[in-house]
């Protein structure tokens, strides 16, 4: 049996609910394949669990089919005659009767699918909580789903559920250290650069990492997962967008395609897509952020330490970028079994591509960077990718990751991928960037290099960088 990796904080949060003297309503949301169901199973070990997963919505699935599926699950779980599934509230009554005065975990998985064709579902679920489940002090009721935008709108921000939810969990990717441990747990024996290749296409998404074969190299795994017509990542993009964005699917796809090779501000996105500058496009971007695919990076004033209105949108999901860059362009050949490729890491453009992926991985693990730099998190006033626009009195500048502390220190981090040891040219580029910064009087600046595959002796000898962090250090617990 495979070891359960990560999610220590989330497990502890769930366990803490047992210390309450009342029942608990929990919401767990997160990107498809992040392991929400697995988290519930791990938490429920040794406990009584009633878990229901709704039917994926299609044009053929009706509200009655969803109710009947739930009714059949009840009959199977509690061994009573088949129910007539005409009303959600009556089904909730049947469940409440069976678990009355018992310690139980109830989990409704893919909650948005359950009532997708029944406009009364949410109201009846809310009433069921208030009238049937809330007073049972021994239950933890979990609402779980991958359609984060639906959950945010209909449950978290809904007046119907206001004040009723004890715990919100947004499940994100595994950390770099956890991802490495996960791969090792599944038998992968590649070195740290091989691990980076895998993470460049999967990120820290647990289900993707589960598909990696331990007896294959990183390149062979990528070939198997992404370029064989039966590979599980060949059609994953379409499944994501059909599940999460069944309406306006094409608009969402256009946005992620645009951001797959560049970071852009809102006005640039409007101009390049040719859309009207409206709240509708803002909502699409917000939905992609809520779903875990985009990140909006705000810059700030080094002098006032206040967040600026200026921001860039960044495609922060490694699988989506890999799909758009390598799979989508060759999809028909892959499906026809006529696509043959060299090992992916030997193809033109790989270095630039993996550089973007490496940057995503580092930015999602910024707490590890802070720990390695021995910075007290309580002293940080701002930290994020930083950019300074060119004006009549300032030069344009962009820092991959900048940390500003209340002690007037700036840590300017250059995140650099190279297949060869990094040379003096990189140090000169970072020096130029820092010279362009409008640094307030009395501030110190510590240049930091975060790299893969080594640094030349000349860079070490120059002693320009205050800290040099190897990718290997990010993979350690």
pLDDT greater than 70 at residue 455 = yes
Each residue's pLDDT tens digit, 351-405: 999 999 999 999 999 999 999 999 999 999 999 999 999 988 889 999 999 999 9
The reported pLDDT for the residue numbered 1 is 67
Query: In the prediction, which pLDDT does 408 show?
Result: 97
> What length does the chain have?
477
Sequence spans of domains, the chain: 8-171, 175-364, 365-474
Cβ contact 260:321 at 8 Å: yes
Give the neighbor-by-neighbor strand order of the sheet with 139-145: 49-53, 104-109, 139-145, 24-30, 167-171
What phi and psi, each to the nearest 5 degrees, are found at residue 88? -65, -40
Work out the widest C-alpha separation in the chain, in whole angstroms. 78
Neighbours of 71 (CB within 10 A): 18
- The residues, ordered by sequence, that sit 6+ positions from 342 with a Cβ below 8 Å of its Cβ are none
Spatial separation of the C-alpha atoms in residues 268 and 286, rounded to whole Å = 16
**Third-level CATH fold of 8-171:** Rossmann fold (3.40.50)
Per-residue pLDDT at 100 = 92
CATH 1.10.3450.40 fits 175-364, yes or no: no
Q: Kindly state the tokens that stand for 80.
A: 């009573």
Tell me the β-bridge partners of 403. Answer: 383, 411
Q: How confident is the model at residue 347 (pLDDT cuts 50, 70, 90)?
A: confident
Q: Would you tell me the crossing angle of helices 249-258 and 279-290 to the nearest 10 degrees? A: 80
**Of 280 and 5, which is predicted with more confidence?**
5
Residue 304 exposure: Cα atoms within 13 Å on the Cβ side: 6
The predicted pLDDT at position 82 comes to 86
Q: What pLDDT does residue 250 have?
A: 84
Residue 210 has pLDDT above 80, yes or no: yes
Does the structure show a pLDDT above 80 at 245?
no
Q: What is the pLDDT of residue 20?
A: 86
Contact 401, 362 (CB under 8 A): yes
Tell me how far apart the alpha carbons of residues 118 and 325 are, in angstroms, rounded to a whole number.
39
Q: What CATH number should be reported for the domain whose range is 365-474? A: 3.40.1350.10
pLDDT computed for residue 57 by the predictor: 85
Residue (of 370, 363, 432) closest to 404 by Cα position? 370
Catalogue the E-assigned strands of 334-425.
380-388, 397-405, 409-416
pTM: 0.94
pLDDT-derived band at 272, boundaries 50, 70, 90: very high
- Contacts of 132 by beta carbon, 8 Å cutoff, 6+ apart: 92, 93, 96
User: For position 278, what pLDDT does the model report?
Assistant: 79
Do residues 385 and 401 lie in contact, with contact meaning Cβ atoms separated by under 8 Å?
A: yes
Mean pLDDT over each residue of the chain, to the nearest integer: 94
At 414, phi and psi to the nearest 5? -100, 120
For 83-115, write each residue's pLDDT tens digit. Answer: 888 999 999 999 999 999 999 999 999 999 998
List, in sequence order, every residue forming a beta bridge with 186; answer none if it has no partner.
none
Q: What is the mean pLDDT of residues 416-436?
A: 95
Joined tokens for residue 243: 């599940």
String of b and e for 174-185 (b: at least 16 CB within 10 Å)?
bbbbbbbbbbee
Sheet holding 444-451, edge to edge: 380-388, 397-405, 409-416, 444-451, 467-470
Q: Residue 240 pLDDT > 90, yes or no? A: no
The answer to whether residue 246 scores a pLDDT higher than 70 is: no
Percent of the chain with pLDDT over 90: 84
Question: Which tokens belong to 257?
Answer: 């395609």
The answer to whether residues 61 and 40 touch, using CB atoms and an 8 Å cutoff, is: no
**Which residues pair with residue 298 across a beta bridge?**
311
| Residues 316 and 334 sit within 8 Å (Cβ to Cβ) | no
């Amino acid at each position: 049996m495979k070891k359960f990796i990560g999610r220590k904080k989330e497990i502890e949060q769930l366990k803490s609910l047992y210390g309450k003297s009342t029942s608990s309503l929990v919401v767990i949301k997160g990107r498809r394949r992040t392991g929400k169901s697995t988290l519930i199973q791990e938490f429920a070990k040794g406990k009584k669990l009633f878990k229901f997963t709704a039917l994926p919505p299609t044009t053929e699935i009706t509200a009655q089919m969803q109710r009947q599926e739930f009714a059949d699950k009840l009959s199977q779980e509690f061994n009573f005659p088949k129910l007539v599934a005409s009303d959600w509230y009556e089904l909730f009554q049947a469940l409440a009767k069976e678990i009355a005065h018992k310690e139980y975990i109830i989990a409704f998985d893919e909650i948005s699918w359950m009532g997708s064709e029944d406009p009364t579902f949410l109201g009846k679920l809310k009433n069921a909580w208030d009238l049937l489940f809330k007073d049972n002090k021994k239950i933890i009721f979990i609402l779980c789903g991958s359609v984060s935008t639906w959950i945010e709108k209909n449950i978290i921000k809904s007046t119907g559920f206001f004040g009723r939810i004890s715990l919100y969990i947004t499940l994100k990717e595994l950390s770099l250290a956890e991802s490495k441990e996960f791969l090792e747990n599944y038998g992968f024996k590649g070195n740290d650069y091989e691990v980076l290749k895998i993470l460049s296409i999967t990120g820290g998404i647990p289900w993707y990492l589960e598909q990696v074969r331990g007896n294959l190299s990183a390149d062979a795994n990528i070939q198997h997962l992404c370029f064989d017509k039966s590979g599980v990542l060949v059609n994953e993009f379409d499944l994501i967008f059909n599940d999460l964005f069944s309406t306006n699917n094409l608009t969402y796809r256009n946005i992620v395609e645009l951001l797959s090779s560049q970071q852009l501000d809102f006005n640039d996105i409007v101009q390049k897509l040719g859309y009207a500058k409206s709240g509708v496009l803002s909502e699409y971007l917000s939905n992609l952020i809520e779903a875990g695919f985009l990140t909006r990076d705000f810059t700030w004033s080094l002098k006032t330490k206040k967040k600026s209105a200026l921001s860039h949108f960044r495609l922060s999901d490694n699988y989506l970028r890999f799909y758009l860059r390598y799979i989508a362009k060759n999809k028909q050949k892959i499906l026809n079994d006529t696509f043959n490729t060299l090992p992916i890491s030997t193809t033109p453009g790989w270095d630039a591509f993996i550089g973007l992926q490496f940057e995503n991985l580092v930015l999602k693990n910024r707490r590890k960077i802070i720990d390695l730099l021995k910075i007290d998190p309580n002293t940080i006033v701002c930290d994020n990718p930083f950019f300074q626009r060119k004006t009549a009195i300032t030069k344009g500048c962009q820092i991959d990751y900048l940390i500003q502390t209340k002690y007037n220190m700036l840590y300017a981090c250059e995140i650099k991928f190279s297949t060869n040891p990094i040379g003096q040219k990189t140090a000169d580029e970072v020096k130029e960037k820092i010279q362009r910064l409008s640094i307030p009087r009395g501030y110190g600046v510590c240049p930091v290099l975060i790299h893969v595959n080594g640094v030349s002796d000349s860079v070490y000898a120059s002693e320009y960088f205050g800290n040099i962090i190897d990718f290997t250090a990010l993979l350690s617990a």
